[in-house]
């Protein structure tokens, strides 16, 4: 199975900040990576697919980059609604696997 190592596990930031979350795959996954946001009691929301493509309806403050084994998610101009948990997931091969998540908290 492909292991996905996500960091940091938690992050404190202020409204208006820019943050970066990283995800590393244990083997090359091309660009078959998605980032999504999870809030308690709500459906997960996919943000970035194919490592860098913005999902329809997602604001451009979210961006992704990377290919192969190293990936990043950047969120610009943090707003209160952005404080949530973020996950990466590889869909290169089965079983699909996930990063451990990054909990983004208000400083």
Partner 1 sequence: QVQLVQSGAEVKKPGASVKVSCKASGYPLTTYYLHWVRQAPGQGLEWMGWINPNSGRTNYAQKFQGRVTMTRDTSINTAYMELGRLRSDDAAVYYCAKEADSSGWYDYWGQGTLVTVSS
Q: Which of 55, 65, 67, 74 binds partner 1 (CB under 8 A)?
A: 55
Measured from the CB atom, the residue of 18 and 39 that comes closer to partner 1 is: 39
Helix, strand, coil % in the chain, rounded to nearest 5: 5, 50, 50
d(CA 88, CA 97): 9
Piece of the chain touching partner 1 by CB under 8 A; list 17-25, 60-68, 72-80, 83-91: 83-91
Nearest to 81 by CA among 104, 57, 56, 55: 104
- When asked if residue 97 is in the footprint of partner 1 (CB under 8 A), the reply is yes
Q: How many residues bind partner 1 (CB under 8 A)?
A: 23
Residue 102 sits at φ, ψ, to 5 deg, of -125, 120
By the criterion CB under 8 A, which residues form the site for partner 1?
32, 34, 36, 41-46, 49-50, 55, 87, 89, 91, 94-101
């Amino acid at each position: 199975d492909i292991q996905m190592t996500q960091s940091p596990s938690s992050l404190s930031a202020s409204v208006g900040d820019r943050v970066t979350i990283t995800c590393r795959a244990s083997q090359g996954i091309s660009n078959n990576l998605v980032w999504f946001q999870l809030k308690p009691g709500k459906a997960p929301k996919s943000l970035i697919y194919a490592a860098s493509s913005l999902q329809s309806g997602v604001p451009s403050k979210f961006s992704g980059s990377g290919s192969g084994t190293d990936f990043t998610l950047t969120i610009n101009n943090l707003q209160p609604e952005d404080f949530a948990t973020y996950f990466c997931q590889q869909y290169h091969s089965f079983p699909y696997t996930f990063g451990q998540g990054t909990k983004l908290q208000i400083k």
